[in-house]
Amino acid sequence: MTPTAKPGPLLHPFAKPGADDGSFLRLVRGEGAVVFDDAGKRYVDAMASLWHCNIGHGRSEVAEAVSRQMRELETYHLFEKFSNARADELAERIVALAPVPDSRVFFTSGGSEAVDTAIKLSRAAHAQAGRPERTLIISRAPSYHGVTYGGMALTGLPLNQKDFGPGVGDVVQVPKDDLDAVRVVFRDNPGRVAAVFAEPVIGAGGVYPPVDGYLTGLRALCDEYGAHLVLDEVVCGFGRLGSMFGGQHFGVRADLTTFAKAITSGYVPLGGVIVAPSVHEPLGADPDYVFRHGYTYSGHGSACAAGLVCLDITEREGLVERASHLGDRLGPALRAIRDEGLVADVRGVGGIWGVGVHEGENLVGVRDRMLAAGVIVRPIAPTTLAICPPLVIEDADLDLIPATLRAALT
């Protein structure tokens, strides 16, 4: 803490607890891909807030649907005997979009809870199918799967685990893109692996699309060794890669698909897991079995009302196709900056991009110069600037992102 720092009452996530209250940028208004701070300064939100605001900020249609729902019945829980209309409707909508026919949906309040739920669903389905010894989870490094003890244990970013004690047990990490490493874990642990977790495109772990054939290879290994494949689509789901789901983009079927973020574009917190028959059938086979898991806000009625409108907007405005357009326009502009030698590496698909700066470059400094110029990007350790704008971003604002990056580097 600097001697003059005065922390405020709000303890910020992923921030220095001793940071001065005055050092935070307070955003007060948004419109499409643009947000404004409390001094009226305009920013292009090239991160869709935190990878989530696909439909853009300030959409009154969502506010009206949530307000209508809150006046009617804010929510009713889904435990045991109860249901609510919006949760039923949203589950039906998501299942109709799901890559695997006859899937079902379990709702959570966000992505980390979705990941924990997927761990439990996988282990419980194996147990109910007479394979209780299948508890081992394989995840990859780098990767990001959230911050609950389950999600943290799966996350392949050691700094996110430091000082927090053990996460959930029975987790083995392998390097990304290395199918041989996955096969070794399967061979060394016969009949023990419950599931392999993978983001279609690694997001907060550095923005890494998979190498060709990796995800289909992972699917084949899971089939060969009897494990579930879990695609963590918290960032990729609902259009980000130019397909409704990342699994579809790469031609891979998942047993469990986690989602959050874009399902409501962050207007109200909501997440969940799409559960394919390979998992929900064994869970439902014994009529007396109870899946003892769920959150007070699983299927929150007002959040599901927001989700329904966000899906309407996504479909009506062609936002899935728009993600491909973003990639076609942003990708070449970023590669040109790389080809000039200003950055080391450019990676991305559709509406998600990572720019690898040269070693020794001050990543936060580049971010801060871009911020001063009115563009919000996100530095992610150790050398990547992440770009993930709202899918509704106008071309002129989209073009500002590489232009501002170039200026911040030169």
Ligand X SMILES: Cc1ncc(COP(=O)(O)O)c(C=O)c1O
Chain contacts with ligand X (rule: CB under 6 A): 51, 110-112, 115, 144-146, 151, 199, 203-204, 232, 234-235, 260, 271
Closest to ligand X by CB, 200 or 402: 200
- Give dist(CA 81, CA 296) in Å, integer: 14
Q: How far is the CB of 261 from ligand X (least distance, A)?
A: 7
User: CA 88, 227, 120, 146 torsion: positive or negative?
Assistant: negative
Q: How far apart are CA 367 and CA 361, in angstroms?
A: 11
Distance between CA atoms of 269 and 256, rounded to whole angstroms?
20
Quickly tell me which residue has 């643009």 as its tokens: 34
Place of tokens 């580049």: 366
Q: How far is CA 87 from CA 47, 81, 94, 276, 316, in A?
A: 28, 14, 11, 18, 21
Cα 277–chain centre separation: 23
Closer CB to ligand X, 134 or 145, in the complex = 145
* Closer of 246 and 282 to ligand X (Cβ): 246
Rg for the chain, CA atoms, rounded: 21
Instruction: Closer to ligand X by CB, 30 or 110: give it.
Output: 110
What token pair was written down for 287? 């009529």
Interhelix angle 301-316/85-97, rounded to 10 degrees, is 40
- Per the listing, tokens 């898991």 go with 293
CB of 50 to ligand X, least distance (A): 6
Shortest Å, Cβ 163 to ligand X: 19
Shortest reach from residue 404's CB to ligand X, in Å: 24
What is the closest distance, in whole angstroms, from the C-beta atom of residue 112 to ligand X in the complex?
Answer: 3
For ligand X, the nearest residue by Cβ is: 111
The minimum distance between CB 250 and ligand X, in angstroms, equals: 15
- 108: which strand partners? 271
387 vs 403: CA distance, rounded Å: 13
Complex with ligand X: residue 43 or 144, whichever CB lies closer? 144
CB of 287 to ligand X, least distance (A): 33
Nearer to ligand X, 117 or 324 (CB): 117
3 state SS of 248:
helix
Question: CB-wise, 142 or 282, nearer to ligand X?
Answer: 142
Take residue 143 and report the two structure tokens written for it: 């990767």
Provide the 10 A C-beta neighbour count for residue 37: 14
Nearer to ligand X, 210 or 402 (CB): 210
Alpha helices, DSSP H, located in 20-148: 48-51, 60-73, 85-97, 111-128
Between 111 and 390, CB nearer to ligand X: 111
Shortest separation between residue 99's beta carbon and ligand X, angstroms: 17
The CB-of-42 to ligand X minimum distance in angstroms stands at 26
C-alpha dihedral, 260 to 261 to 266 to 270, nearest 10°: 0
Whether 207 contacts 217, CB under 8 Å: no
Point out which residues pair with 356 in neighbouring strands: 345, 384
| Smallest separation, CB 258 to ligand X (Å) | 6
Question: What residue type is assigned to position 51 of the chain?
Answer: W
Smallest gap from Cβ 108 to ligand X, in A, equals: 9
Choice between 145 and 325, CB closer to ligand X: 145
Q: In this complex, which beta carbon is closest to ligand X, that of residue 234 or of residue 310?
A: 234
Residue type, 155: T
Q: Which residues pair with 383 in a beta bridge?
A: none
